[in-house]
Amino acid sequence: MFLVKLTNFDPLLDATSFFAQISFDDADVKFTPSKFFIISSHRSPRFIATLQLSPQWFTSFSVDHDHSSKVSLESFHDAILDGGSFASMTIHLLDKTNQIILRFDTPSSEIQPLHHELALSPPQAEDNQIGQHELDEGKYFIVKSKALRRIIKELPIFQNDSSN
């Protein structure tokens, strides 16, 4: 079974926006029975950004097996942005067709749901250990979302970038 639903998806939109600024076009999405991850890397193999969300963050979270895929970060972000006026977002995983469906709904029966189908491909880093287990706080750190933009802008890769 696979059902993931959330009503406050603005933080997810913000996170994908940050990731799109610092990474390649693609990101790995990983679902486990206990977490949802977006894993994105920059051109430097030493820089990997991970968004890790626990089931408590979701309205419904029912994932019975691990799944990892690569998705276009721009398409994922644009789909969430397009559905921003809706009350909820449900993520459906279609393993047999290698697609992820984002469905946006509102309580009003007068407004038709919005669907976005995104193509999935094999993950970028199958050997990536992030998501295999809980993060080891001695090796990783957690950044509050409000501070993330400032920290990213201070990275050496953005020092000569005037578009920040």
Residues 6 or more apart whose Cβ sits within 8 Å of residue 118: 71, 72, 75, 76, 79, 99, 100, 101, 102
45, pLDDT greater than 50:
yes
CATH code, domain carrying 77: 3.10.150.10
User: For residue 163, is it within any domain?
Assistant: no
Could you tell me the residue range of the domain that residue 10 belongs to? 2-158
Per-residue model confidence (pLDDT) at position 47: 72
Looking at the 3D structure of the chain, how many domains does it have? 1
Own/partner pairs, 149-157, CB within 8 angstroms, 24+ separation: 149/18, 152/18, 152/21, 152/22, 155/22, 155/47, 157/22, 157/42, 157/44
User: For residue 52, is it within any domain?
Assistant: yes
User: For residue 79, is it within any domain?
Assistant: yes
pLDDT band at 159, cuts 50/70/90?
Answer: low
User: For residue 29, is it within any domain?
Assistant: yes
Per-residue model confidence (pLDDT) at position 131: 45
Lowest mean pLDDT among 45-49, 105-109, 133-137: 133-137
pLDDT band at 44, cuts 50/70/90?
Answer: low
User: For residue 164, is it within any domain?
Assistant: no
Both structure tokens of 134: 């809980």
User: Where would I find the H helices in the chain?
Assistant: 10-22, 73-82, 145-153
User: For residue 17, is it within any domain?
Assistant: yes
143, pLDDT greater than 60:
no
